[in-house]
Amino acid sequence: MHTEGPIFSRIPIGLNAHCISIECHIAPGLPGTTIVGLAEGAVKESRDRVKSALRNNGFNYPNGHVIINLAPGNLAKSGTGFDLPIALAILQASGQVNIPNKENTEFIGELGLFGELRPINGILTCALASTRANKRLVLPAQNEADASLVKDGDLLIAPNLSELIKYFGGHEATGVRAPKQQKSAACPVKQTTYRQIIGQLNAKNGLLVAAAGGHHLIMLGPPGAGKTMLARSFIDLLPTLNDQASLEVATIYSSIGLERNDHAKVPFRDPHHSISSAAMVGGGQQPQPGEVALAHKGVLFLDELPHFKPATLDLLREPIETGHAVIARAKYRVSFPCEFQLIAAMNPCPAGRSCKEDGCRCGPSQVQKYRSRVSGPLLDRIDLHVQVPELDQLLLAKLQKQNANAEDPLPRLKEKVKSAMDAQLQRQGCLNVKLSGSALDAEIANANISEKFLHRAIEQFHLSARSYHKIWRIARTLADLDEQSIISEANFMQALNFRSINWEADSF
C-alpha cells in the first residue's frame, strides 16, 4: 500500500486550460482499476491503454485495487491527454519510479499500447497555461510544431514513456528535449490569383479598400463574373500575420487538432452554404470553435450568401460587432476570438447560372424573396457593396492581351495596404473599421466637406445613422490610401459609391 503526492496535468476547455491533479492509491483486495472524478468516455478507456503501455515497457501493473482520483471533482474530464499522468501516478504509487521536481511539472499525452506518446488536441492552450503558471510541461513529441510557438515556456517533449523514465533517472534519453523552433513549411510559391483577374477595376478597388481599412465587403454579380476568384485573391493583399496573431490563430486551430503548416499565413475559410449554425459559430458537446473563430485574423468567405440559412446568417451579427463568439451550453460557457473580415458574394437571382444564358426568367417576387434571405441588419453591417458585372468577350480578350505584358501590380498594392494600415494604427490605435466615438467625430469635424454637400448626400441616399458612420470610415480609408491627413469631398463621394446599390430595384 502506497500513496504519494499528486501528478499534475492540464485539460483544455475552449481556449483555457485548467490544472488537474491526479492521485493514485493502491488498496489491497481484488485486482482492478477505478477512475473517479467525473471522468468521461475516453478517460475511462485510459485504464486499458495505460495497463498495456506499462506492461509492454517492462513495468509491473499493481496487483491490488488501483484507484485513480482526478481533481477537482466538479470539472468534467474528457479526452485522452491524462494517459501519461495516470501512468506516472501508478508507477510512482507502486514505487517503480521517482519523478524529479514533480511539484512544478505538468504532464499531458495519450499513450499507445506500446508506450508511444500520441498527440492531443489543444496542446497550445495547455502550453500557454502552464507557462503562465510557471510550470514545466511534458508533452508528446508529435505536438512539437504547435508547442514551439510558445517562446518563453519551459517545455519538454518526449517520444514515448520509456525514454521519459530514462530521462527521470538521469540517463541518456533519446528525443527528450525542448521543442525546436520549426521552420515554416515553405508553401509552394503559387502564382498570385490577383494578377489573373482581368478587368473588374471597381471590385478590385473595393478589395483594396477592404484590405486597407479592415472593412467587410459583399460582391454582387452574375455567375462566372469572377467573384470567387476575387475573394480568394483578397488575402494576397493582406500583410502576413505577426507573432502575436499567429499564436492566437494557432491556439484556436490546435484546440481541435488542426495544424497550420504556415503560421504566418492569413486564414481563409469558405464554408459551404449548407453549414449548420453550430459549425458556423461554434458549439458541440465539448466547446469547439466554429468557422468564425477559424477565420480569426483572416477572411470568412461566404459564397452564394442567400443560400445560407437565415438563422445561421443572423448568428453572424454579434461576432461581427464584438469580435467574439460566445458559446453557452448547460455544461460550459466559452468565448472564442473571431476578428475576421467577411467577404460575401451573391448572384442577382435565385436561378443563377441557368438564367445567365437565356436572360432571367425568375419573377420579381422570386428575386425579391431570394434577396430578402439576407437580412437588412446583416447587409447594413457589411461596409462595402460592389458590383461585379460580366465582361464583354471582346473587351475581355483585349484586356487579357494587355494584362499579359503588364507587370504584376500586387507588390505595389500590398505596400499601399501596409502603409495605409500603419498610418491608421499610428493615428488611432485601430483600423478604420473600428473607428468610433470621439476619434470618428474628430475626423468628421476636420473633413474638408461643405455642409450643403453633406445634407444633399444624406437626403439623396436615405442614409441611416449606421450607414452614415460607415461611409465616413470608408472615406477615412480612402484618404489613408491617398496618404491624406484630412478626408476630402472626393473621398466621401467615392465612399458613397460603395453603398449606393438599391437592393430592391437594381438588377446587378
Q: Which of 15, 250, 325, 355 binds Zn ion (CB under 5 A)?
A: 355
Going by C-beta distance under 8 Å and a sequence separation of 6 or more, which residues neighbour residue 154?
130, 131, 135, 136, 137
Which window, 111-119, 304-312, 358-366, 380-388, contacts Zn ion (CB under 5 A)?
Answer: 358-366
Q: DSSP for 429-485?
A: SS-GGG--HHHHHHHHHH-B--HHHHHHHHHHTT--HHHHHHHHHHHHHHHHHTT-S
Which window, 343-351, 373-381, 404-412, 465-473, contacts Zn ion (CB under 5 A)?
Answer: 343-351
Is 124 a residue that touches Zn ion (CB under 5 A)?
A: no
- The C-alpha cell at 469 is 458612420
Q: Residues 425 to 454: which contact Zn ion by CB under 5 A?
A: none
Is 351 a residue that touches Zn ion (CB under 5 A)?
A: yes
Is 362 a residue that touches Zn ion (CB under 5 A)?
A: yes
Is 356 a residue that touches Zn ion (CB under 5 A)?
A: no
Pairing mode, strands 282-283 and 268-269 = unpaired
User: Is the CB of residue 113 less than 8 Å from the CB of residue 135?
Assistant: no
Task: Please say which residue, 279 or 362, places its beta carbon nearer to Zn ion.
Answer: 362
**Least separation, in Å, of the C-beta of 508 and Zn ion?**
12
Site string for Zn ion, 299-338 (x = CB under 5 A): ----------------------------------------
**Least separation, in Å, of the C-beta of 507 and Zn ion?**
10
Nearest Cα to Cα of residue 215 among 344, 345, 435, 382: 382
Where residue 58 falls (left for φ over 0; alpha for ψ -120 to 50; beta otherwise) is left
Task: Please say which residue, 236 or 304, places its beta carbon nearer to Zn ion.
Answer: 304
- The C-alpha cell at 96 is 517503480
CA distances from 433 to 55, 322, 473 (A): 60, 12, 6
Is 349 a residue that touches Zn ion (CB under 5 A)?
A: yes
Q: Total number of residues binding Zn ion (CB under 5 A)?
A: 5
**Least separation, in Å, of the C-beta of 307 and Zn ion?**
14
Q: Which of 360, 382, 433, 495 binds Zn ion (CB under 5 A)?
A: 360
Is 366 a residue that touches Zn ion (CB under 5 A)?
A: no
* CA dist., res. 447 & res. 442, Å (int): 9
User: Is the CB of residue 32 less than 8 Å from the CB of residue 65?
Assistant: yes
**Least separation, in Å, of the C-beta of 217 and Zn ion?**
24
**Least separation, in Å, of the C-beta of 353 and Zn ion?**
10
What is the identity of the amino acid at 68? I
**Least separation, in Å, of the C-beta of 463 and Zn ion?**
30
Which window, 76-84, 305-313, 353-361, 414-422, contacts Zn ion (CB under 5 A)?
Answer: 353-361
* Side-chain-facing half-sphere of 311: CA atoms under 13 Å: 6
Task: Please say which residue, 89 or 349, places its beta carbon nearer to Zn ion.
Answer: 349
Task: Please say which residue, 359 or 437, places its beta carbon nearer to Zn ion.
Answer: 359
Task: Please say which residue, 150 or 305, places its beta carbon nearer to Zn ion.
Answer: 305
For the chain, give percent helix, strand, coil, nearest 5: 45, 20, 40
* CA dist., res. 142 & res. 109, Å (int): 10
**Least separation, in Å, of the C-beta of 12 and Zn ion?**
48
Binding site for Zn ion (CB under 5 A): 349, 351, 355, 360, 362
